[in-house]
Structure 1
Amino acid sequence: MFKARSGSGLSRRGLLKAGGATVLAAGAGGALTVGEASAAVPASKRFDLSTPSYDVFRKALLHEKHHAMQGMAFDPGNGHLFISQVRDGSSGDDLCINRLDGSGKVTGTMHLDNAGHGVSIGVEPNGKDSFVWVECDSDANDDSGRGTALARFKFVDGEAPSGVKKFFTGSKTITCATDPVNKRILVRRKESGRFIYRLYDFAGMDVENGTFTDELAKISQPKLGDGSVTFQGYAVFGSYLYTLDGEGHADPADIDSFVTATDLNTGKVVERFLTKAGKSLVFREPEGMAVTRTSGGEVRLCLGFASRTSIGDIDRYANVFQKNVLV
């Protein structure tokens, strides 16, 4: 189940020790910043972003062949990976949720109308069922459309969502990510013009009223790089937020994709590292992050990248890589 080669050894190029935390050296991907934070999340280990990334799978063809993968999330117990993408031929805010196995084979799909862009999604396992969390009620019926609420529904292959429950209605540019190890959900949305992350336990969820109790963390998004980066996804594990940014490039020499770790208790960026995972892919573009745990108990931070077979190819492929060293 989602097997990949294990990494070994640590590289600390460009890293310094400061106040007991590992931080990026000045000049490597931009200065580190601190966002506002209010939290009391039990401290956890974090992923060492400087360690190598290893293949989970490459060149998976999703249901919508002409659109790149976007957000992703795992249901480790049932062996599923879910990937969102914009639907081919749609107005731009209609989504397809793909269900994949560990080899990258699509095993099911669901279509959502007027949802948003699908930058990040979540999954809540419930026995043999998987409940998908994804933005909904897009604010525009085109490529600019972004969700104004989160929808929760059971994944049923080939069917339209039913029994949908909505949370955080009236939001602006809302998405989410889930921590399958600690059974939590992290919500990202704009509040007073800034992106804010809020962390909740699934145990505090009120499905009927669409609310959560006992907020565990609230942080504003720290400045990433020089502040002009292209945000491509995020994940959560324990007391850390992980983000992915960068653009698509035809030349590996131009790769600018960075992974960043932020402490949810302080809002402080503790590590930012350039990732060249899948650098040989044709027109490699960072798309999505997620956390999973193998049947053997290894926790992994997974990074998604879209690709093509050639620059002129209109088909887009999904590629997933993982980091597995905790510090």
Structure 2
Amino acid sequence: MGFIDSNGIDLSGATGKLLQTMPLTKNPAPQAFATDTVNGHVFVLQLDGGTEAPPAGNMRLNRLDRTTGEVTGSMYLKGFGHGISMGAEPVGADTYLWTEVGPVYPNDGVSTGFGAAVTRFRFAAGTTLDQAAVPAAQKFSPAGAVKTGPSVDLAHNTLTICYFKDGVRLFTRYDLARAAQGQWAQVGETFTMPEGAETGLTFQGYTVLNGVLYVYQWKKAPVTVYPGTAYITSYALETRQKLDSRVVTGADGLERREPEGLAVEADPATGRNRLLFGFSDTVPGTTGRRNITVGWYPTVPPVDGVQALTDWEDLALAAGVGVAGGEVPRGRLVAIAGTTYLQLRGRITCGLTGDSVVATLPQSLRPTRTARQNVPRNMNLGRGVCQLEANRLGELWAYGAAADNAITWIDLDCVSVSWR
């Protein structure tokens, strides 16, 4: 066990998963994300130059279903910036997003453009929002700030703005409810990124939870080699002390594994806060299209070395696969002494005469490295075991059936296989 901060987060501890390798609207990589747990959404920003040079600062805003990962709508943000960070606020059935907004800086036709202010707007699928149409009264920037990015802590009613001023990265908090009304009441003192904290590292996002700043950084050595190494470093905003810095080991099976975005949310199942982190990978079969994976750190420490990362969740059975004993097969993640295991339970009936997919795992259980285990099946001609294999797409394969040796049932109760 490593250092546990005041939020209960151990950056060296076990991690769970929210979404696994979900493709977005277009090709560009994701830049930042935020969640609306009330309405069941994940929002993801992508930088999109389109036919214009990158300094135009155009972005696509994707809305994904947090259960299935499927894109359910998108907006086009014209001239907004790069997507350093973002925040989401549920208001009834609507979601209001906080993002950076232009005019972008610099706008020199060469450099990537970043927004110099932040704004708040309602998500409206299928629409385009031009920064030039956003009233000045709905934009805010700390004096002298450039390269801005907002982050929202709903649990503590704060909005944090990250920005550059005089070549230094700063973080200032504001009262969220008042900021939504255009009244900017600062909370606490402005935090300055310590000198040398970004040397040799690329800033990939940040978030704040209850006075603790989490900064996401990336090191590629050499620069052309992936995946490189991702780090999260935490700071206490009030005392200005560095708390911890750890290599992020979640989603270790991704090939490109580019860190993209941090956020915080309250787990809708338990109400407990958790720290979310994102990774981008290349969509298989393409050369440039990118997807997003979102993992999370819990705020509940293990008890005697055991930590349940998910509750039991139903598997989606394939066509022709049935339930034995009246209970739909289920799965969960459990971390034991630093290793995370995928556990399954239940029994299925089938009529397999070849290698087949028998079920699909929910997003939260999908591994980024193949997990496999031998399990009991019906005894036939001396064969009483088959192999189960869960892949990164969430497919649960059964191997070992043949035309002259069909598998008619498979017992999942003994499955407890290393997931990460």
TM (norm. structure 1) is 0.79
Deviation per CA, 1:130-181, whole angstroms, max 9, x where unpaired?
1111111112256511111112111111112376621117631111111122
Q: Distance in 2 between matches of 1:148 and 1:214?
A: 18
Larger fraction in strand: 2
Q: Provide structure 2 residue ranges, at least 5 long, that are not aligned to the other structure.
A: 302-420
Q: Distance in 1 between matches of 2:250 and 2:237?
A: 26
> Structure 2 vs 1, CA of residues 190 and 251 (structure 1 numbering), >3 Å: closer, same or farther?
closer
Residue 58 (structure 1) aligns with: 20
- Which of these residues, 299, 311, 318, is aligned with residue 325 of structure 1? 299
**What is the correspondence of 1:21-100 to structure 2 with a 5 Å cutoff?**
44-64=6-26, 66-87=27-48, 89=50, 90-92=52-54, 93-100=57-64
- Which of these residues, 69, 90, 93, is aligned with residue 128 of structure 1? 93
Q: Provide structure 1 residue ranges, at least 5 long, that are not aligned to the other structure.
A: 1-10, 16-20, 23-43
> Structure 2 vs 1, CA of residues 96 and 245 (structure 1 numbering), >3 Å: closer, same or farther?
same
- Which of these residues, 282, 285, 293, is aligned with residue 258 of structure 2? 285
Secondary structure of residue in 2 paired with 1:156: coil
Q: Distance in 1 between matches of 2:283 and 2:134?
A: 39
| Structure 1 position 186 matched with structure 2 position 160 | yes
- Pick 1 or 2: higher relative contact order, CA cutoff 8 A, min separation 6: 1
| Structure 1 position 116 matched with structure 2 position 81 | yes
Secondary structure of residue in 2 paired with 1:96: strand
Deviation per CA, 1:219-255, whole angstroms, max 9, x where unpaired?
1012465722111000111110111101468978x64
When the two chains are superposed, the root-mean-square deviation of aligned CA atoms in Å is: 2.5
**What is the correspondence of 1:204-283 to structure 2 with a 5 Å cutoff?**
204-205=178-179, 207=181, 210-223=182-195, 227-247=199-219, 255-283=228-256
Letter in 1 for 2:37: P
Q: Is contact 2:272–2:299 with CA below 8 Å preserved after alignment?
A: no
Q: Is contact 1:282–1:311 with CA below 8 Å preserved after alignment?
A: no
State the number of aligned residues. Answer: 285
Q: Distance in 2 between matches of 1:160 and 1:111?
A: 5
Q: Which has the larger radius of gyration?
A: 2
TM (norm. structure 2) is 0.63
Q: Is contact 1:282–1:309 with CA below 8 Å preserved after alignment?
A: no
Secondary structure of residue in 2 paired with 1:71: strand
| Structure 1 position 156 matched with structure 2 position 111 | no
The runs of 4+ residues in structure 1 deviating greater than 3 Å are 161-164, 223-226, 247-252, 309-312
